[in-house]
Amino acid sequence: MASLAVVLTVFSLLVGFPVQPSAGHLVQEFEQRAIRSWSEKQFMDYFVNHNNPTEAMEKDGIAEYNELKDAAFSEVGASWVVLDVPGDAMKKFINMKQQKSLISESERDEQLSLLESSSRFKTIRESVVGLGNAEFVYDLTGLLKLGDNLFSDFTSSRKFKLNLTPTPTISSSLESDGKLWGIIRERKWTLWKNEEEASDFTNSINYLRSQSLKDFVEKSAAYSQFLNKNAETYKRFLPNSVVSALKALADNPEKRPDEVLNEDPLK
């Protein structure tokens, strides 16, 4: 009977349906699996919902962006989901994004430095890289560390072109960082037509973010379903304190997580 229990346990791990743990180390293992599963599920939800501009912001963004964009240029969007990969694989993915001019060298270096963090983290980063000829790539990245040398990434990028000569530059300044989970990052974006002439570009970035997130939601639907199912499968192994915190978040869907809780229950 003991050997049969081992076989059933191994089989359940392979197919993704956990059986009731019978030893302390299995309890801890399944608890960690549950926390990782819910971390990914919640983070994708926050990535999509708590970074999306309001309808008013999107409307202002469309008006501003339409005045500046090159109408003859067709925007191109791309989205990726990378789940549960070791640090070396995540480094290759981040380097690939830079090599394809989706992010700048400085943004790549900052993301790579995050991978060296000794503790778990969740952060959402927004950047724009210039390609020349008034072409740019907007990138929205959600990066999280799930445990020892285990990472996931949500990325949506959008290539666009402005009807301006000479080629302008776009810069940003961080107004406030995320109070919790690294989710809410407010930035002021500036469009520099030359060294002396600048204008606010924040509304246009809000519009580009909304379009990138729409593309991400469409292309990541299968991953979202997988994460939701996986989280529900392991929910019974979550600590009671985490279950209570998740219920508080579920009871306040219109609020940001930092408006409901003082700390992240899924650290």
Average pLDDT over residues 22-43: 84
Taking 80 as the threshold, does the pLDDT of residue 244 lie above it? yes
Determine the Cα–Cα distance for residues 118 and 64; give it in Å rounded to an integer.
Answer: 42
Q: Interhelix angle for 105-115 vs 87-99, to 10°?
A: 170
pLDDT tens across 148-205, in order? 889 999 999 999 999 999 999 999 887 655 555 665 566 789 999 988 899 999 999 9
6 lies in some domain: no
pLDDT at site 182: 62
pLDDT at site 3: 38
CB 97 within 8 A of CB 243: no
133-137, 205-209, 257-261: the lowest-pLDDT one: 257-261
Average pLDDT over residues 203-224: 93
pLDDT at site 13: 41
201 lies in some domain: yes
Taking 50 as the threshold, does the pLDDT of residue 7 lie above it? no
Total count of domains within the chain: 1
Question: Residue 116 is part of which domain span?
Answer: 47-222
Taking 60 as the threshold, does the pLDDT of residue 100 lie above it? yes
Say which residue, 260 or 16, is predicted with more confidence: 260
18 lies in some domain: no
Q: Which strands sit side by side in the sheet containing 186-192, from one edge to the other?
A: 169-176, 186-192, 198-200
Determine the Cα–Cα distance for residues 216 and 179; give it in Å rounded to an integer.
Answer: 24
165 lies in some domain: yes
The full DSSP string for 82-118 is: EEEEEHHHHHHHHHHHHHTTSS-HHHHHHHHHHHT-S
Q: Which residues contact 179 (CB under 8 A, 6 or more apart)?
A: 258
53-57, 91-95, 159-163, 236-240: the lowest-pLDDT one: 53-57
CB 137 within 8 A of CB 131: yes
pTM summary value: 0.84
CB 94 within 8 A of CB 142: no
Taking 50 as the threshold, does the pLDDT of residue 9 lie above it? no
Average pLDDT over residues 14-20: 50
pLDDT band at 59 (very low <50, low <70, confident <90, very high): confident
36 lies in some domain: no
3 lies in some domain: no
108 lies in some domain: yes
114 lies in some domain: yes
Q: Looking only at Cα atoms, what is the longest distance across the chain?
A: 79
Q: What is the mean pLDDT of the chain?
A: 85
Q: Which strands sit side by side in the sheet containing 122-132, from one edge to the other?
A: 76-86, 150-161, 135-147, 122-132
CB 220 within 8 A of CB 45: no
Q: How many CA atoms lie within 13 A of 113 on its CB side?
A: 6
